[in-house]
Chain A
């Protein structure tokens, strides 16, 4: 019987929620959380021998230490395949799954499989390195996502060829294989078919889609910082304690801006974070740890920069889709233009 080990975060490892996101890696014999369903799916083919659990924040902030500890834990274990997740639309968890899968694959040479939603940063960071199944956006898709991961895992364990990205449902890895087509139709004929379809205005699917690289040109530097007006933004959810704009604690679609002109300060008790993606204790006690208004006012006094835009801008970054984030930024931009802001600082958590 083949042997498989699964990595999950503190939540799916049943240790706790955000308050436990700082826990260091631990390894347990047997199956915890999603490992139980993996064991069912792989029944008769492989045994899920261990579950590794690590807090998302620990993995994010102490990556080298976390990876080293987990690789040590695996050193004396028999393992034919390594799984992580599924991570759904949890940004930090997707990065954690990709990071550990890559490290395990490099150190121990075993195949690795994970799953994440396309709206997460882990996809672009790691899709070329491993099989990342296209996962759901919420944990209720667990059954489906585990099944999809297990299907690829079974083929890898059996040494069978894994199908194409579209057949198996993983993110295309940019790897080309030579293969015989079932229809035996040569490229010249397929190209002509596409060309005829194009000329007739009919839909066709290219065999070589050009990846879209979304980079923005670097904006020119501020010439005279001493006279520049600076705006502060954050995705860490710092708001007045009554959250007047009702910004959501996760998957935000709303943003707010709050007056910091004159001698206004950000004090605990008057401002807090409504971000559901980390332990709020530190930012609730002192919001300046996310929105450094105190430091900016001091640096302005020292003449490092000219003036501070009258408002700081807030939304919440966790679970928020890239398209919503872009839309909110576009709504904020006219306010920056109107006040002749010269440059921006955005603090993300």
Chain B
């Protein structure tokens, strides 16, 4: 899906836990998440910690869209 959307000219960032899979499939902008069932908020942590983590990683993803890249890039979180 990421590739089709990028082919249409939209910058797209994939937020995912299985980064090696995203790399193999061919996503160009990748931001890691923390797990498969809860990518952006571990229910065993406090609501506040989940919120902080989610805001932070979502912001990294937004900034990734505004970052010029020349090769497949996994952004640091």
**Do the beta carbons of B20 and A349 come within 8 Å of each other?**
no
CB contact between B66 and one of A95, A124, A217, A221 (< 8 Å): that residue: A221
A60-B18, A295-B55 given; A219·B9 CB < 8 A: yes
Rounded to whole angstroms, the CA-CA distance of A304 and B63 in the bound complex is 8
Judge whether B40 and A288 touch: CB under 8 Å.
yes
A235 to B2, CA, bound (A): 11
Contact with A along B17-53 (1 / 0, CB 8 A): 1101110111011000111111111110000001100
Given contacts A215-B26, A289-B41, A294-B54, contact A346 B11 (CB under 8 A): no
Number of interface residues of B (CB under 8 A): 54
Residues of B within 8 A of A92 (CB): 18, 36
CB distance A236 to B39 under 8 Å?
yes
**A216 and B37 contact, CB distance less than 8 A:** no
A349-B21 contact, Cβ under 8 Å, with A283-B38, A304-B59: no
CB-based contact A57/B21 at 8 Å: no
Is A336 close to B, CB under 8 A?
yes
Please provide the 7 A-B residue pairs with the shortest distance between their CB atoms, ordered closest to farther: A329-B4, A282-B38, A289-B41, A343-B65, A329-B1, A225-B66, A278-B37
Instruction: Write the residues of chain B forming the contact surface with A, with a CB cutoff of 8 angstroms.
Output: 1-18, 20-22, 24-26, 28-29, 33-43, 50-51, 54-55, 57-59, 61-63, 65-71
Task: List 20 extra interface pairs beyond A230-B65, A299-B55, CB under 8 A.
Answer: A61-B34, A125-B20, A219-B12, A225-B66, A228-B65, A228-B66, A233-B1, A280-B37, A282-B41, A288-B40, A289-B40, A295-B54, A299-B59, A329-B3, A336-B8, A343-B12, A345-B62, A346-B1, A346-B13, A347-B15
